[in-house]
Amino acid sequence: MQLLNYLNFKGQCEDAINFYQKSLGAEVIMLMRFQDMPPEESEACQMPPGLDEKIMHAELQFGETRVMMSDSPESGAAEFKGFSLSIAADSVELAEKYFFALAEEGKVTMALAPTFWAKIFGMVEDKYGVSWMVNVDSDEMPSM
C-alpha cells in the first residue's frame, strides 16, 4: 500500500506548484487542466465557468515522495487543517534552505532549532496555508 497526500487549492494550485518547484525543487510529473477534460465529462460534471485554465489534477515529486494537488471548484480560501507535511532533510543546511523558503510570505509556527529528538526541527505554514514540519534526525534517537 502507498499513502499519498492530496492538496486541494481554490484557484492557487498553479502558483503553489511554481512555488514548490522554486522553494523545494519539486518536479511536475503530471499536470492536467479542467479544459483537458473530454467535453461529455465536462458537461456531465457541470463545472462552474472560469475553471478551464485551472489545475484539475497534478502530481509533484518531492525527492522520493509524490504529492497530488488540484484546484477545487469551490470558492474562497483553501483550508489545510489537522495535518502537516513533514520534510526529513538530509542536513541542517538543507533543512534551513527548505524552512526559510517555505516561510517566505508564510508564518513560522515553531522556530527552527535543535531539539532532544532532532539536530534541528521547525514548523512553518506556507503562504497557501499548508503546514510543514522540517526535521533533521539526530544521530542518537531517544529510546521508547
> Both 67 and 87 in a single domain?
no
pLDDT (tens digit per residue) in 49-95: 778 899 999 999 999 999 999 998 776 667 888 999 999 999 999 99
Which cell numbers hold the place of 138?
Answer: 539526530
- Nearest CA-CA partner of 31 in 72, 69, 74: 69
Q: Which residues form the domain of 14?
A: 1-75
The cell 515522495 sits on which residue?
Answer: 65
- 42 versus 97: the higher-pLDDT residue is 97
Question: Which CATH number is 56's domain given?
Answer: 3.30.720.100
pTM of the model: 0.87
pLDDT (tens digit per residue) in 123-144: 999 999 999 999 999 877 655 5
Q: How many independent structural domains does the chain possess?
A: 2
